Structure 1
Amino acid sequence: MTRFAVDRLVFVPDDVDLSRSPLAGHLDVETYVLGAFNPGLTRLPSGNLLMVVRIAEALREPVRDGHVHAIRWDDGNFVLDAWPLEFADTADPRKFLLRGGGWKIMALTSLSWLLPVELSPDGLEVVAVHYDRAIAPAASFQCYGVEDARISRVEGRYLMTTCSVSPERHSTTLYSSEDGLDWRFEDIVLDHQNKDMLIFEGLVGGQYWAQTRPLGDLYFAYPPGSEWRPGPSINLATSPDARHWKPHREPGIRPHSATVATARMGGGSPPILTDKGWLTLWHGVEPKEIVGIYRTYWSLLDRDDPARVIRTQDAPLLEANPELTRPIEQQMYVHDVVFTTGIADHGDHYIVASGEADLACRITHIPKTMFD
């Protein structure tokens, strides 16, 4: 694994004040921060950086009285739902599966909301935590939470995609801002189970472009001997206004049959334009136990035709770093996970933001020469 001179955790669960959480005062039970992770990243007009951090707020005792409990938003309040334990598979600490429905049904062990955290220009010091600008569920299609912000700045406007989770749909929702701090809800922009939507930081041919990642339980086989592996891949879409999206005909980045390290993949940081093309950081998942091993990879896409991959690197750019999480290892519930979610230019290097172990926010300074 490549070691970088600047690579550290900058925001961890103990940095969150749950007395200022959107859930505070709604539940007569104890909650805690399961994770403060997967931060969207952008640079503010002041020069400071902004992370929009996913806060997974969980019940301290989800299992009691023969039931497993989940938090749900309900018309401006937060309530608890109880499911009989004999119908639930709780092997994964992040969620539980409900048996007997005829297809896969799950509920979450936490509810996620988004917390803007302002950093110094180098991303290494917390300047302010903006609880007054937290983004919480506000509609039935977000009743199980708002997750995994990704922020792009296009034509002077900030655009933030998020995943909104509910029984109605697992949708991608869009927020916009003029200053990067005050966010306005725009709309649902992608429907059921389309995750990791990343809007390119710039127009291509006068259009907005985005990477998407549709999910499903069925994938069709490539022909025998194909260089590609069937499964989740990074697709592309275009839009005239960033709200109405059309899938692009050509595929984007696909898992390669020669390796299992990227058997499952999805977007990471919003693609940014360099003098060599669009730089995109993405995650590959190697199957292992329940969660798998998450690593960060990179590719360069053609500036005029982002469906064309100019160059990619088979070796991972980032891997989980146990030394970073050692001081908080008593709070860890998964391992081998780094999930990159943001990138910002900082002179001769990029500042890369990631979620580490679904637990904390990691900032890494990566020299631009890594992508030559």
Structure 2
Amino acid sequence: MAQYPVDRLIVIPEDIDLARSPLRSTLEADTFVLGAFNPGMTRLSNGNLLLMVRIAEALSAPIEGDMIRAIRWEAGRYVLDAWPLDAVDTSDPRQFMLKGQHWTVNGLTSLSWLLPVELSPDGLEVVAWHYDRAIAPAADNQCYGIEDARISRIGGRYWMTTCSVSPERHATTLYTSRDAFDWHCEGLVLDHQNKDMLLFEGLIAGRYWALTRPLGYLYFAYPPGSPWRAGPSINLATSPDGLHWKPHDRPGIRPHADTEATARIGGGAPPILTDEGWLSLWHGVEPNDGVGIYRTYWSILDRDDPSQVVRTDHRPLLEPAPLLTQPLAHQIYLHDIVFTTGIADAGDHYIIASGEADLACRITHIPHGRFGAF
């Protein structure tokens, strides 16, 4: 067994064969891998691990003359749209913002699809690249891509939530599978701008539970002296069948005044059941001059009532690791990001999958003892 600490990159952009990309079916423009990151993860029936890696595929030459171009799926094919350069703000390398709008309107510099990558049981070797099982846009509500898979195994089935991006909405799409390779799209399950939906790996009193994170620009203040900070929080929802969801009346994980750098928080890995309760990994963001510094934190939620936080750690579990991405310095366009998206129990330790710097997939082994009694 590997000795702690185990912390390495397992998938990087150079590993991806774009000749096998689903975009090659109709898109003739040259592209490159902007990032291979934010992998959903689950344990397969053969004992191996499966990563569902987000491949952000971008145009090699997005600017042509005085226009900036973007990729969009439309009716089974990929097309290019173009906007005048002087009509957009291109300060963020991941997207551009249309000027002169009454609200924030963005375009993307890449289109994301999902690549299944099979790993060894310890997560430290790639066993197979399953390009033939890639998941790409197939509906208007996914026309700008499919992002950030999270996979839970419940009742002998695999459940995968993804973020679907389109002008219609920024929403959660659900897929189900018996083997984690042959996926069936169940359609939209959460509507506009509700991200990071994570299904608990197990039922509670016969119901499905999930963490959600609605976005917004308006939040109301907690009273002076409150232990909580106003802002985005991780909410809860329940369902009788995994398809139809109702927001839970009580909040889930909220930004705590004692936890540094949580101006914005959101779900990370699907909660898994331990002897103490549901172990939930989530991200907290410290503002900076860019997109913020992303760190991974953890909380234990009550096994019968997940709205009750049994225990949490105000120290980060994972920090961004610039030494890991140093060999990829020529490709880095964002810094200070670790975005955890998967967890698997490996006996005396957990295998944690994360996206690093919106560029690569990171695997970390963390002993059970790091989380306390269990």
TM-score range, shorter chain: over 0.9
Equivalent runs, 1:319-358 vs 2, <5 Å: 319-358=319-358
Secondary structure of the residue aligned to 1:132 is helix
Equivalent runs, 1:1-372 vs 2, <5 Å: 4-372=4-372
Normalised to the residue count of structure 1, the TM-score between the two structures is 0.98
Deviates more, 1:154-163 or 1:253-262: 253-262
CA distance in 2 between partners of 1:327 and 1:88 (Å):
32
Work out whether residues 260 and 314 of structure 2, in 8 Å CA contact, stay in contact via their aligned partners in 1. no
Tell me by how many angstroms 1:224 deviates. Answer: 2.2
Q: Structure 2 unaligned runs (5+)? A: none
CA distance in 2 between partners of 1:351 and 1:214 (Å):
28
Which amino acid in the other structure matches residue 24 of structure 2? A
Secondary structure of the residue aligned to 1:224 is coil
Tell me by how many angstroms 1:154 deviates. Answer: 0.4
Secondary structure of the residue aligned to 1:330 is helix
Secondary structure of the residue aligned to 2:24 is coil
Which amino acid in the other structure matches residue 351 of structure 2? I
Tell me by how many angstroms 1:176 deviates. Answer: 0.3
Work out whether residues 256 and 263 of structure 1, in 8 Å CA contact, stay in contact via their aligned partners in 2. no
Secondary structure of the residue aligned to 2:325 is helix
Tell me by how many angstroms 1:182 deviates. Answer: 1.0
Work out whether residues 295 and 318 of structure 1, in 8 Å CA contact, stay in contact via their aligned partners in 2. yes
Secondary structure of the residue aligned to 1:323 is helix
CA distance in 1 between partners of 2:333 and 2:260 (Å):
24
Secondary structure of the residue aligned to 2:252 is coil
Secondary structure of the residue aligned to 1:271 is strand
Which amino acid in the other structure matches residue 144 of structure 1? Y
CA distance in 2 between partners of 1:198 and 1:221 (Å):
27
Which amino acid in the other structure matches residue 284 of structure 1? G
CA RMSD of aligned residues (A): 1.0
- 1:216-267 Cα offsets, whole Å, 9 max, x none, are 1111111222221111100000000000000000000111234550110000
Tell me by how many angstroms 1:5 deviates. Answer: 1.6
Work out whether residues 281 and 298 of structure 1, in 8 Å CA contact, stay in contact via their aligned partners in 2. yes
CA distance in 1 between partners of 2:226 and 2:69 (Å):
45
Q: Structure 1 unaligned runs (5+)? A: none
Secondary structure of the residue aligned to 1:173 is strand
Which amino acid in the other structure matches residue 176 of structure 1? T
Which amino acid in the other structure matches residue 308 of structure 1? Q
- 1:107-148 Cα offsets, whole Å, 9 max, x none, are 110000000000000000000000000000000000000000
Tell me by how many angstroms 1:27 deviates. Answer: 2.4
Normalised to the residue count of structure 2, the TM-score between the two structures is 0.97
Deviates more, 1:56-65 or 1:244-253: 56-65
CA distance in 1 between partners of 2:314 and 2:219 (Å):
24
Percent identity between the two aligned chains? 71
CA distance in 2 between partners of 1:21 and 1:41 (Å):
21
Work out whether residues 199 and 209 of structure 1, in 8 Å CA contact, stay in contact via their aligned partners in 2. yes
